[in-house]
């Protein structure tokens, strides 16, 4: 409910307040019903609680084992979250559906056990069987994950879309099928283990005390299990290996239960031991790169050249081929975070070079938030005259993977670049250091937890870390969210930077550059800076052959952006709208890009001679024609695509960016 209703309607603070009100309401209801529920609860507890003789010998053992089981159960959740994100999405809705399935399994498991508890005569054996089987199934469902299961997800999603015509319904149906197939059955057993252990530990004369103790120890175990799994086991053994460790741990809990428990039937004793043995065999036999290989299959094939299941995320690099083009792509949690294909190379170099080139003064310092492939950071490193170059990246594995992208000029190991492993926003809060240019390339704004790098609150913080004439450059993808959400992203930017400009860096990407001071486009300064060898060579390689070609990527200034975002609500820390927005339409760019291009104005350039103006007009016309061809391709209009590309090649047939796209298409 929070992800789908409360946060989109009430925001973060409002949802927290609503949770407080609901909790108070539940407490009041509990007090009101207390006098009626005591006898009923005691009667029900009598159905599952042991006699005094049964619990006197084993209650402490059962409590200890259930505490360990709680740690294992929360360990599963950590691993499932990281494993399934690679095949679902990094949107918050995916996590919400998986978590809801996890909790539903616990609830239903408890209910089913309670319903049939009076028929079970071997509580120790039953508890052991549930814990051991849950661990084995959790491992098997990942170890046996294959394409046919993913195909079922797609079929369910298509069915949901056919009924509702909603992209969000399509994706949530996929998430639900995936969560049910991986999470539900093991959590059903874990849920049944709760009343099973109460039967071994609780005294009907003290139900509140004993049930509370069970919950307390299980919760303490869960806290320890979460920390151990996320910070120790996954970095050491990987996701699949950690599932194996947890399954073997569950088998050990089951074995201890049947060995230490009272009156366990031989059949259950041997059954639990057999399941434990199977868990050990499966954990050893399952390849550590099981998920990596499956990920590659679902992402267009190719060769996996780097894979690390690290703290916080899984990082992979795949070498892939498109027609005659061979390139590498970076995946974080299974989601493409760019690569070194020509389109990506172009926008990432412009992400750094453009604000440095148009700076009103002489830039001496630059901060890059987000390392990614290292291409943006490498462009900053390649720009002469900078005395301070800092890049902040959250995941060490991303920096390690960056070594496989030579187009970043070895940014990760060059002493001229200070690469700091930290949270970019926290770094701005922590350090008072100021910069002439701050540029960032975080994951897409709709990804879970990323909206706070696109919010007005973040922009205010970043603005305070700019030098007086400093520029802030924000990557603006236009294919990863709906047009209305893009308007909200622009609104957030405008609310902080009084001087705001929009540039197009690639067909699917744009760049907002903002400042607290007027942005003066001095053609003489920009031409002089562009002529520096490191700069000109880097940009010519991505289809920007001159300073005038760079200026031709201008779209509009503040007035145009105000027209575009006038009615939109901003993204804030309290209202992270984009994170909870409707699912993006597959061809949304065919609406967003033409709308933005229609805002085009003449850039306020000084010291611009007639020859440069003529070149500017021609290059802008060609670029706009190329984008028209791109829209035609998205719409499946092959004739219009061919005609537009013929006009593009008539004027800039040697442009490497245009030629790459034409060859890829």
Give 366-392 pLDDT, tens digit per residue.
999 999 999 999 999 999 989 999 999
Which residues are CB-contacts of 94 (< 8 A; sequence separation ≥ 6)?
Answer: 84, 85, 88, 171, 175, 448
Give backbone dihedrals phi and psi of 299, rounded to 5 degrees, phi first.
Answer: -115, 30
Q: How far is CA 626 from CA 356, 395, 488, 629, 657, in A?
A: 26, 36, 27, 5, 10
pLDDT at 267: 86
pLDDT at 38: 52
Q: Which of 76-80, 196-200, 448-452, 603-607 has the highest mean pLDDT?
A: 603-607
Enter the tokens of residue 328.
């590498």
Residue 49 pLDDT exceeds 60: no
- pLDDT confidence tier of residue 51, bands split at 50, 70 and 90: very low
Torsion of CA 618, 619, 620, 622, to 10 degrees: 90
Higher pLDDT, 187 or 119: 187
Higher pLDDT, 90 or 127: 127
Higher pLDDT, 37 or 67: 67
pLDDT in tens, 217-262: 888 988 999 999 988 998 888 888 899 999 999 999 999 988 887 7
Half-sphere exposure of 319 (CA within 13 A, CB side): 8
Domain layout of the chain by residue ranges:
49-291, 341-346+434-664
Contact 175, 88 (CB under 8 A): yes
Higher pLDDT, 313 or 593: 593
Whole-number CA gyration radius for the chain: 29
116-120, 352-356, 581-585: least confident range: 116-120
Residue 39 pLDDT exceeds 60: no
Angle at which helix 483-494 crosses helix 558-565, to 10 degrees, equals 130
CATH classification for the domain delimited by 49-291, as one of 3.30.1050, 1.20.120, 1.20.1250, 1.10.287: 1.20.1250
């Amino acid at each position: 409910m929070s992800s789908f209703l409360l946060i989109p309607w009430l925001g973060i603070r409002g949802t927290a307040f609503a949770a407080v009100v609901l909790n108070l309401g539940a407490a009041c209801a509990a007090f009101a019903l207390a006098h009626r529920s005591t006898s009923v609860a005691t009667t029900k507890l009598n159905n599952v609680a042991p006699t005094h003789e049964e619990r006197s010998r084993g209650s402490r053992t059962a409590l200890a084992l259930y505490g360990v089981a709680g740690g294992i159960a929360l360990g599963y959740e950590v691993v499932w979250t990281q494993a399934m994100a690679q095949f679902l999405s990094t949107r918050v809705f995916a996590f919400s559906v998986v978590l809801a399935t996890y909790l539903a399994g616990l609830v239903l498991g408890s209910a089913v056990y309670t319903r049939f508890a009076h028929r079970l005569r071997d509580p120790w054996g039953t508890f052991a069987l549930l814990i051991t089987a849950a661990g084995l199934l959790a491992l098997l469902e990942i170890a046996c994950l294959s394409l046919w299961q993913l195909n079922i997800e797609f079929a369910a999603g298509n069915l949901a879309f056919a009924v509702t015509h909603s992209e969000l319904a399509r994706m949530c149906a996929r998430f639900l099928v995936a969560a049910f197939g991986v999470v539900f059955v093991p959590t059903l057993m874990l849920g049944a283990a709760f009343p099973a252990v109460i039967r071994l530990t609780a005294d009907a004369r003290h139900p509140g005390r004993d049930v509370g103790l069970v919950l307390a120890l299980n919760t303490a175990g869960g806290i320890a299990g979460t920390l151990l799994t996320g910070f120790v086991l996954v970095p050491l053994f990987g996701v699949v290996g950690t599932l194996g460790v947890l399954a073997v741990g569950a088998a050990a809990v089951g074995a201890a239960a049947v060995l230490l428990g009272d009156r366990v039937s031989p059949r259950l004793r041997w059954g639990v031991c057999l399941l434990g043995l199977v868990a050990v065999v499966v954990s050893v036999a399952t390849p550590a790169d099981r998920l990596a290989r499956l990920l590659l299959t679902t992402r267009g094939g190719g060769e996996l050249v780097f894979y690390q299941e690290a703290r916080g995320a899984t990082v992979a690099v795949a070498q892939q081929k498109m027609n005659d083009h061979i390139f590498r792509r970076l995946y974080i949690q299974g989601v493409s975070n760019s690569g070194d294909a020509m389109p990506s190379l172009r926008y990432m170099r412009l992400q750094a070079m453009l604000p440095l080139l148009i700076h009103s003064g002489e830039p001496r310092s630059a901060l890059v938030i987000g390392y990614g492939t290292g291409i943006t950071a490498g462009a900053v490193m390649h720009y002469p005259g900078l005395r301070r170059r800092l890049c902040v990246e959250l995941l060490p594995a991303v920096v390690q993977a960056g070594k496989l992208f030579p187009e970043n000029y070895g940014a990760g190991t060059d002493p001229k670049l200070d690469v700091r492993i930290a949270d970019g926003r926290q770094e701005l809060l922590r350090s008072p250091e100021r910069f002439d240019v701050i540029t960032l390339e975080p994951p897409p704004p709709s990804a879970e937890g990323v909206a706070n790098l696109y919010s007005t609150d973040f922009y205010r913080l970043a603005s305070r870390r700019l030098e007086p004439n400093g520029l802030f450059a924000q990557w603006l993808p236009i294919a990863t969210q709906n047009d209305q959400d893009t308007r909200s992203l622009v609104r957030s930017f405008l609310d902080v930077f009084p001087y705001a400009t929009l540039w197009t860096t690639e067909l699917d990407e744009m760049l907002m550059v903002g400042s607290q001071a007027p942005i003066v486009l001095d053609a003489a300064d920009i031409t002089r800076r562009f002529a520096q060898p490191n700069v000109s060579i880097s940009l010519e390689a991505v289809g920007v052959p001159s300073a005038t070609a760079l200026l031709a990527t201008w779209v509009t200034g503040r007035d145009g952006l105000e027209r575009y975002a006038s009615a939109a609500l901003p993204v804030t820390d309290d209202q992270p709208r984009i994170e909870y927005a409707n699912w993006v339409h597959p061809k949304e760019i065919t609406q967003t890009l033409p709308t933005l291009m229609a805002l085009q104005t003449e850039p306020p350039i000084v010291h611009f001679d007639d020859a440069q103006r003529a070149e500017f007009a021609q290059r802008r016309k060609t670029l706009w024609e190329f984008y028209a061809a791109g829209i035609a391709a998205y719409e499946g209009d092959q004739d219009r695509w061919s005609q537009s590309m013929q006009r593009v090649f008539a004027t800039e047939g040697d442009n490497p960016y245009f030629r790459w796209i034409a060859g890829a298409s």
